[in-house]
Amino acid sequence: MPSATQPAPASMYRRTEGLGIWEHKGKVAAVGIGHSPVDRRWDGKPETSVGAYAIVALRNAMKDAGITADQVDGLVMDASTTTGAEWPAGRPLPEEFVKAFKPGANHVDGISSLSTEWIIANMPELAHVKYTQYGPGCMSNCVCVAAQAVGDGKTKVCLVLKAWDNLEGRYGQGGENAEDTIAGRAAFSNPWGPTGPYLWAHMFNEYTKKYGGNHDQMANFVLNETRNGLLFPEGFWAQHRPEVLTKEDYLSSRWIVKPANLYDCDIPITVAVAYVFTTPERAKDMKQKPVYIWNTTATNPRNRGIIQTLDEGQASTDFTGRKLYEGAGIKPSDLSFENMYDGYTLFHQFFLEGLRFAGVQRGEALDFYETADLTIEGPHPVSPSGGNRGSGRTRIWMHTDCIQQIQGRAGARQITGVKPEIGVSGGPMPTSGNFLIWSATPN
Amino acid sequence: MPRPIPVPDELSKPFWDACNERRLVVQNCTACNRMQYPPEKTCLGCGSGKSLAWREVSGRGRVDDYVVVHDSRLRLWQAEQPYNVALIALEEDPGVLFLSNLPGIPVDQVPVGASVQADFEEVTPGQLLLEWRVVSQPQRPAQRKR
Ligand SMILES: [Zn+2]
């Protein structure tokens, strides 16, 4: 049975320049946040499945916002949850899991996928949900779709959910990567063995070739992310492996795809995160301070060849930056902090430069990393969430952190060197993804 | 060296057939005079779906960059770790890029800037695979520091 819920139509995304200020600027707010526990891998128990964690996150988000489930009329989520290992075709689902949950649209729902049908079947309290939509791929997509949906009046109190499962097996090593033959577009790559952070290792090379600089200059950025991640109690490292990373650890770490090393990569985990989005009017009755969305944008260029080039990557991030500022009606210096995506660390500088964050121009980011104060105490905090590097592979922390920073609820991670008024987050790639601007005020 | 064996489809068959004849062909758009690789159903330059034709090219190129894979997700490649993955820019249009392992070049000693020539090696009986050989070194071999 396919899910009746559809991926968001193209009309819900703002893709081009020249659209002017977003028509719903300041008319959509994030209020509640809910996180599940975080695990390295699923242990096979129903209560730690990605479905169970999704329910925990959704209930936590409603509780955090101070609302009851019957007030919710919308649900935007991603049906895909796998981080890199699929549930093997034909393997029966664990009996205990089957007993614990009602089925959804897909037979592996709750284990390595989700559907709105599965969520609603297993959360009977969500009896008034009338609007459902998928924002495929990432929380970045989901939050942009939910913002547009609330702005358009399709839902007034919307749950936004993204969950990830990490099943057994090493990341990305199943499926076609394990086969002796290769079809489709991958037939033009796999025979020569590119893998993992290969694209970004290559773009980093092109970048340092053009502007100078070297991999060592990444250290302060990676250390800053690691530090911020350890201050993120919802994150993987803070919960399971509170290890302090030294510069020597980073510089001497093993290569994955040189010049990308182990600490330039993230760690796949199981987790679910949910938010409550609503209108400013409804937000008045909720428990947390609303964080207003000022703009969203989607960037999905077609690249010319087998690999993205530096020129294409930079054109994309500049394009994203210009669209974000145009739709929000702000300029780079209005950003209090930035939470753009980081999984892999070697591409974060493309975002910084595309945004001209803290005045950083093309080719300047590595020097900025090395000489500027990137910390939460500094004048222009870089990745205060700690990102994927700092808290595990979710592509979500950056959004949670934007909301928490502006609400003043980031705890030990709260930025202090600047007043957290306007933030930016999004991903997953510098070259393609969904991005948004958050603000403490509606205008 | 065991590599994943490409399975041609309708779109890619002319490319793989040409490999078997030791010829390098890429798509060329006759509407906007632009080459592209890998093959696509439409021209990514002008969007035309009717102007793409296969064009034989010189097979001469230059090493643009390389990375070294130490921890591969690809099962067949794991026995070869670490290995070079180079990027080759085509002489006729350096915007057209190919992957290569540059057989015979030691790990992490890829001569960026070197001239290369297309070559073909058997990946399975009946299918040749595009590869590239260094034919002359650049003026100063570039070896990247970490
Ligand atoms: Zn064309």
pLDDT in tens, A341-389: 999 999 999 999 999 999 999 999 999 999 999 999 999 999 999 999 9
- On whether both B130 and B67 belong to a single domain, the answer is yes
Rg of chain A (C-alpha set): 21
Pairs of residues, one from chain A and one from chain B, whose beta carbons lie less than 8 Å apart: 139
Whether B142 is covered by a domain: the verdict is: no
Structure-block tokens of residue B65: 């960059």
> Percent of chain A beyond pLDDT 70?
100
pLDDT digits (tens, 9 = 90+) for A291-312: 999 999 999 988 888 998 999 9
Q: No. of H helices and E strands in chain B?
A: 1, 9
Total domains in chain B come to: 2
Q: How many CB atoms lie within 10 A of CB B87?
A: 26
The full set of domain ranges for chain A reads: 20-171+268-283
pLDDT digits (tens, 9 = 90+) for A37-47: 999 999 999 99
Whether B106 is covered by a domain: the verdict is: yes
- On whether both B101 and B130 belong to a single domain, the answer is yes
A205–B38 C-beta distance less than 8 A: no
> Percent of chain A beyond pLDDT 90?
93
Predicted confidence at residue A173, as pLDDT, reads 84
Indicate the range of A116-125, A163-172, A196-205, A279-288 predicted with least confidence. A163-172
CA–centroid distance for A45 within its chain: 26
- With a CB cutoff of 8 Å and minimum separation 6, the contacts of A192 are B3, B85, B99, B100, B101
Quote the minimal CA–CA distance from A59 to chain B in Å: 37
Size (chain A), residues: 443
pLDDT at residue A209 tops 60: yes
Point out which residues pair with B136 in neighbouring strands. Answer: B115
A190–B37 C-beta distance less than 8 A: no
- On whether both B66 and B124 belong to a single domain, the answer is yes
pLDDT at residue B146 tops 50: no
Indicate the range of A21-30, A161-170, A364-373, B51-60 predicted with least confidence. A161-170
Structural domain boundaries enclosing B15: 9-57
Treating both helix axes as pointing N-terminal to C-terminal, what angle do A198-211 and A310-328 enclose, rounded to 10 degrees? 90
B85–A255 C-beta distance less than 8 A: no
| Residues of chain A with C-beta less than 8 angstroms from the C-beta of B82 | 255, 258
Quote the minimal CA–CA distance from B69 to chain A in Å: 4
pLDDT digits (tens, 9 = 90+) for B121-133: 999 999 999 999 9
Euclidean distance between CA atoms A439 and A423, whole angstroms: 6
Euclidean distance between CA atoms A331 and A335, whole angstroms: 8
Q: Please choose, from the candidates B80, B146, B143, B79, the residue with its C-alpha nearest in 3D space to the C-alpha of residue B108.
A: B143
Predicted confidence at residue A228, as pLDDT, reads 98
Q: Please choose, from the candidates A274, A296, A399, the residue with its C-alpha nearest in 3D space to the C-alpha of residue A24.
A: A296
Ligand 1 center–CA B44 separation, angstroms: 7
Euclidean distance between CA atoms A273 and A66, whole angstroms: 17
pLDDT at residue B145 tops 50: no
Q: What is the DSSP string of A280-343?
A: HHHHTTSSS--EEEEEEEEE-PPPSSSS--HHHHHHHHHHHHHHHHHHHT--GGG-SEEEE--S
pLDDT at residue B141 tops 90: no
Q: Final residue of a domain: which of B57, B73, B96?
A: B57
- On whether both B53 and B87 belong to a single domain, the answer is no
- On whether both B62 and B133 belong to a single domain, the answer is yes
Contact at 8 Å (CB) between A292 and A143? no
Predicted confidence at residue A303, as pLDDT, reads 84
- On whether both B100 and B118 belong to a single domain, the answer is yes
The chain-wide mean pLDDT, for chain A, equals 96
- On whether both B64 and B128 belong to a single domain, the answer is yes
Reported as a pLDDT band with limits 50, 70 and 90, residue B139 is low
Taking CA–CA distances from A84, the nearest residue in chain B reads B73
Structure-block tokens of residue A325: 């500022």
- On whether both B46 and B71 belong to a single domain, the answer is no
Predicted confidence at residue A172, as pLDDT, reads 83
Whether B143 is covered by a domain: the verdict is: no
Average pLDDT rounded to a whole number, residues A222-250 = 97
Reported as a pLDDT band with limits 50, 70 and 90, residue A253 is very high
Average pLDDT rounded to a whole number, residues A180-208 = 95
Average pLDDT rounded to a whole number, residues A19-41 = 98
- On whether both B130 and B65 belong to a single domain, the answer is yes
| Residues of chain B with C-beta less than 8 angstroms from the C-beta of A178 | 75
Euclidean distance between CA atoms A50 and A129, whole angstroms: 21
Whether B67 is covered by a domain: the verdict is: yes
Predicted confidence at residue B1, as pLDDT, reads 74
Indicate the range of A61-75, A159-173, A239-253 predicted with least confidence. A159-173
CA–centroid distance for A264 within its chain: 17
pLDDT at residue A164 tops 80: yes
> Going edge to edge, which strands form the sheet with B34-36?
B34-36, B25-29, B52-56
pLDDT at residue B136 tops 50: yes
A195, A205, A214 ranked by CB distance to B73: nearest: A195
Q: Please choose, from the candidates A190, A196, A251, A210, the residue with its C-alpha nearest in 3D space to the C-alpha of residue A365.
A: A210
Average pLDDT rounded to a whole number, residues B115-144 = 87
pLDDT digits (tens, 9 = 90+) for A419-442: 999 999 999 999 899 999 999 999
**What is the fold, at CATH topology level, of the domain defined by A20-171+268-283?**
Peroxisomal Thiolase; Chain A, domain 1 (3.40.47)
CATH code, B118: 2.40.50
Which of the two residues, B145 and A224, has the higher pLDDT score? A224
Structure-block tokens of residue A55: 């329910």
Give the type of residue at A194. P
Average pLDDT rounded to a whole number, residues A158-186 = 91
pTM of the entire predicted model: 0.96
